[in-house]
């Protein structure tokens, strides 16, 4: 028997060696097919469990792409793998083994040889019972799954077969393992020495000096590392060195050191800071680089300029609230010709309020003056059935505060719209996401929790600033954050919202999955139809925002249930993977976008974010943030800022106040851009604009500066065009057949072409 077992073991070890690429670079590749089974059974933890009849699956892609289209909830992955001792022998630092499992959407528990070793990206350091509720709380879909075990951890079977069993739970939308790397290796110097750039933002001083705080940590619990840290900053345009500093570091285990670098640079110039830590004993290096923010948006002129939506939809007798957005040296004086009867404009701040009783299209001429001049613009009011004729622009609490949102934070966001000047660029909505609800009282009224002592007074306050208010609920009994939903209280909730003065409702599927577990298209529509019935009955216009992560291709029927916008994807996070994975796959939705009916690829992740209460500065590079705002503008997406507005820095503000970029987002034609050209390195998207011009986005998917050659034929553009560089707002001259343009890493160039 024993002999048999040994033979069996060596055979399976040989087999393993054949199906795994041999450990190269001291790594074992786990991006090979794993065994897969949907459902949940504790028996599947056991190394001895026979999974030979299970299906095979590629771990680097979500299960929906591999034949499991409607799978939500539990599924298991298993793999058998030999872990050779030579990994230790060949390693410079011999104390820990790391198992890297890409990312897992949304939650996971990982077992090695029958024992729990990790949960949702956190290593379980010693033998522990598996928690049954590991899949509660905020989704962990974008957390790196890196589990680190001490080399002498008895759960590792060195030079033997090991079984890794992963229990995954998907709460909806995309599910399961995805991304990279999938591998086993010893934790090396870069796994112990970590830079953290996101606990503080860049600080701006006037137009030149930028300072940045960062931390370098030794996260090893045993090893002491000594070496030299070199920091240098290089301009991207001419390669000149802006800054260089060297420091000797002696880093004891589990120690973090904070540095501040002060780098003088013209704010419009792209530059990169390079960090190198060279360890004395091994000569090994850990390198990181950090893009510095660069500002392309010109400062507003002193003379007036009118911004914001050129067309506005309202239903008869609904309260009208529109703030004429304008920049220019204060004080500005506002006026309007041909305002329909029932509307009034406040000369001091351009706030238009009142009611329109009659359906119709009203052409208004807006005028703003100051001591430097005057600006005029046409403004069309369409009083009829359709609202949100341009994508909503505003703020939402989720990406910053998560469930810790409060009355105070909402008021502060509204106030920051005024003090930062965002309101002068068309930013309007202040939206409360999940976390405000308590319960329904005995009369069926929804009662806010103690963080929102008086919702009506708060809404009146936000309105008094010239802004609108949004709220959040779920058609299910509970919201995604576990708060009270609207199930069976839809009519009462809609009335309560209207009574408070709500202008926007985000209605999030969440626990409705328990009521319609495997919904067909009708069942997907049903809860939205139901709520729509009641919000249409109240005496104010409420933007109806469907949130169900794109299920059943919602973009093909969102308008049928009277949605004004619908989320086309799962939740966004502040990583390139998340941003590009969402943004560049929106072409399929393009034909379905129209005025009042917008595809919503989720909110902006710029500035200080964190899903609350602890915040960090966005992990997107400045170029990625340019890509984010550019692409969302081309996609005619709702623009909902998801950051702490009380900590807006000059760069973030510049991203959100470029009126030519925002004008593309707000273009009245309401056509979403289409992807016209793509390869592994770049994509080109084109959006038709109302005046016959075209907005074109070039996007570089690589990590290097890239020359992109564009043939106008490929953009279906004939003849001569005037080309404008939108971010810096400069003309680039005439183009005919083709042009070439250099695009920064993960960055963009946004162009508008007009007929000469």
Q: Is 680 known to be catalytic?
A: no
| Options 433, 508, 562, 602, the catalytic residue | 508
Q: How far is CA 705 from CA 232, 505, 699, 741, in A?
A: 19, 42, 11, 10
Encoded one letter per residue, x for contact with ligand GAL by CB under 6 A and - for no contact, window 548-587 reads -----------------------x----------------
DSSP state of 377: E
Judged by beta carbon, residue 571 or residue 667, the one nearer ligand GAL is 571
SS3 state of residue 441: coil
DSSP state of 552: G
- Of these, 547, 643, 695, 706, which contacts ligand GAL (CB under 6 A)? 547
Alpha helix stretches (DSSP H) within 575-643: 576-583, 622-634
Judged by beta carbon, residue 279 or residue 602, the one nearer ligand GAL is 602
Inter-axis angle of helices 622-634 and 576-583, nearest 10: 20
Judged by beta carbon, residue 72 or residue 183, the one nearer ligand GAL is 72
Nearest distance, CB of residue 537 and ligand GAL, angstroms: 25
Number of residues that bind ligand GAL (CB under 6 A): 11
Nearest distance, CB of residue 626 and ligand GAL, angstroms: 23
Judged by beta carbon, residue 513 or residue 668, the one nearer ligand GAL is 513
| Options 105, 106, 571, 644, the catalytic residue | 571
Encoded one letter per residue, x for contact with ligand GAL by CB under 6 A and - for no contact, window 463-502 reads ---------x------xxx---------------------
Question: Site residues for ligand GAL, window 307-336 (CB under 6 A)?
Answer: none
Position 508 contacts ligand GAL (CB under 6 A) = yes
Encoded one letter per residue, x for contact with ligand GAL by CB under 6 A and - for no contact, window 340-379 reads ----------------------------------------
State the CB neighbour count (10 A cutoff) for residue 746.
Answer: 23
Nearest distance, CB of residue 602 and ligand GAL, angstroms: 7
Judged by beta carbon, residue 368 or residue 547, the one nearer ligand GAL is 547
Nearest distance, CB of residue 446 and ligand GAL, angstroms: 16
- Of these, 51, 115, 434, 659, which contacts ligand GAL (CB under 6 A)? 434
Strand order in the sheet with 343-345: 320-323, 351-354, 343-345
Judged by beta carbon, residue 82 or residue 471, the one nearer ligand GAL is 471
Nearest distance, CB of residue 431 and ligand GAL, angstroms: 10
Position 105 contacts ligand GAL (CB under 6 A) = no
Q: Is 196 known to be catalytic?
A: no
**How far apart are alpha carbons 683 and 201 in whole angstroms?**
30
**What is the secondary structure of 115-143 as a DSSP string?**
EEEEETTEE--S--PPPTTTT-SS--TTS
- The beta strand positions in 325-461, using DSSP E, are 325-327, 333-337, 343-345, 351-354, 360-370, 373-383, 393-396, 429-431, 437-440, 446-448
Preceding amide of 682 cis, omega within 30: no
**How far apart are alpha carbons 38 and 518 in whole angstroms?**
15
- Of these, 77, 398, 401, 507, which contacts ligand GAL (CB under 6 A)? 398
Beta pairing class for 271-279 and 285-292: antiparallel
Q: How far is CA 415 from CA 241, 460, 639, in A?
A: 41, 13, 18
CA geometry: angle 267, 270, 273, nearest 5 deg = 105
Position 600 contacts ligand GAL (CB under 6 A) = no
SS3 state of residue 110: strand
> Which parts of this chain interact with ligand GAL (CB under 6 A)?
398, 433-434, 472, 479-481, 508, 510, 547, 571
- Would you please indicate which residues are annotated as catalytic (active-site) residues? 508, 571
């Amino acid at each position: 028997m024993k002999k048999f077992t040994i033979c069996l073991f060596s055979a399976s070890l040989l087999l393993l060696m054949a199906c795994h690429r041999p450990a190269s670079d001291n790594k074992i590749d786990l991006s090979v097919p794993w065994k897969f089974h949907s459902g949940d059974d504790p028996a599947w933890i056991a190394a001895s469990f026979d999974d030979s009849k299970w299906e095979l699956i590629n771990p680097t892609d979500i299960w929906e792409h591999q034949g499991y289209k409607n799978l939500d909830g539990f599924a298991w992955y298993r793999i058998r793998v030999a872990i050779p001792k030579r990994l230790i022998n060949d390693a410079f630092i011999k104390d820990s083994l790391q198992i890297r499992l890409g990312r897992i959407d949304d939650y996971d528990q990982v077992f090695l040889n029958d024992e729990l070793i990790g949960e949702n990206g956190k290593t379980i350091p010693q033998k522990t019972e598996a928690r049954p509720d590991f899949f509660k709380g905020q989704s962990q879909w974008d957390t790196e799954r890196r589990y680190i075990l001490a080399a002498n951890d008895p759960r590792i079977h060195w030079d033997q077969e090991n079984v890794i069993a992963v229990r995954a739970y998907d709460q909806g939308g995309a599910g399961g393992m995805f991304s990279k790397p999938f591998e086993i290796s010893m934790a090396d110097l870069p796994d112990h020495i970590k830079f953290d750039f996101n606990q503080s933002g860049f600080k701006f001083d006037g137009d030149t000096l930028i300072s940045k705080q960062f931390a370098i940590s030794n996260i090893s619990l045993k090893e002491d590392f000594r070496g030299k840290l070199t920091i240098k900053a290089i301009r991207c345009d001419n390669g000149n060195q802006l800054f260089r500093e060297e420091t000797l570091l002696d880093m004891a285990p589990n120690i973090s050191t904070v540095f501040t670098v002060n780098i003088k640079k013209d704010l419009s110039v792209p530059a990169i800071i390079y960090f190198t830590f060279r360890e004395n004993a091994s000569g090994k290096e850990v390198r990181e680089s950090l893009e510095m923010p660069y500002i392309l948006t010109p400062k507003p002129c002193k003379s007036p300029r009118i911004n914001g939506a050129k067309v506005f939809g309202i239903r008869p007798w609904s309260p009208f609230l529109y703030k004429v957005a304008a920049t220019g040296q204060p004080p500005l004086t506002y006026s309007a010709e041909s305002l329909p009867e029932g509307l009034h404009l406040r000369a001091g701040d351009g706030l238009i309020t009142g009611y329109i009783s009659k359906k119709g299209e009203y052409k208004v001429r807006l005028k703003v003056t100051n001591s430097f001049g005057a600006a005029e613009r046409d403004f069309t009011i369409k009083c009829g059935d359709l609202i949100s004729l341009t994508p909503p622009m505003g703020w939402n609490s989720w990406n910053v505060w998560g469930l810790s949102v409060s009355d105070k934070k909402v008021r502060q966001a509204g106030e920051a719209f005024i003090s930062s000047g965002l309101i002068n660029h068309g930013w309007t909505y202040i939206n409360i996401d999940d976390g405000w609800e308590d319960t329904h009282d005995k009369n069926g009224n929804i009662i806010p929790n103690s963080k929102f002592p008086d919702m009506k007074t708060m809404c009146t306050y936000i309105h008094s600033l010239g802004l609108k208010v949004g709220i959040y609920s779920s058609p299910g009994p509970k919201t995604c954050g576990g708060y009270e939903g609207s199930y069976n209280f839809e009519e009462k909730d809609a009335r309560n919202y209207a009574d408070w003065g709500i202008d926007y409702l985000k209605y999030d599927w969440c626990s409705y999955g328990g009521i319609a577990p495997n919904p067909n298209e009708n069942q997907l529509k049903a809860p939205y139809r139901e709520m729509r019935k009641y919000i249409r009955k109240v005496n104010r216009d409420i933007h109806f925002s469907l949130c169900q992560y794109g299920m059943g291709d919602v973009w093909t029927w969102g308008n049928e249930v009277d949605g004004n916008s619908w989320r086309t994807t799962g939740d966004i996070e502040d990583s390139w993977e998340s941003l590009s994975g969402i943004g560049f796959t929106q072409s399929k939705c393009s034909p379905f976008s129209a005025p009042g009916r917008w595809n919503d690829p989720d909110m902006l992740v710029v500035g200080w974010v964190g899903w609350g209460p602890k915040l960090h500065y966005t992990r997107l590079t400045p170029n990625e943030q340019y890509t984010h705002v550019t692409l969302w503008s081309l996609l005619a997406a709702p623009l909902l800022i998801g950051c702490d507005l009380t900590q807006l820095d000059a760069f973030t503000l510049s991203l959100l106040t470029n009126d030519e970029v925002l004008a593309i987002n707000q273009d009245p034609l309401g056509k979403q851009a289409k992807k016209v050209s793509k390869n592994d390195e770049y994509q080109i998207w084109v959006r038709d604009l109302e005046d016959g011009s075209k907005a074109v986005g070039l996007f570089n998917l690589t990590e290097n500066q890239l020359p992109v050659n564009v043939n106008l034929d490929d953009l279906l553009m004939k003849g001569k065009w005037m080309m404008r560089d939108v971010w810096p707002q400069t003309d680039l001259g005439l183009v005919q057949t083709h042009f070439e343009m250099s695009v920064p890493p993960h960055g963009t160039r946004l162009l508008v072409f007009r007929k000469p």
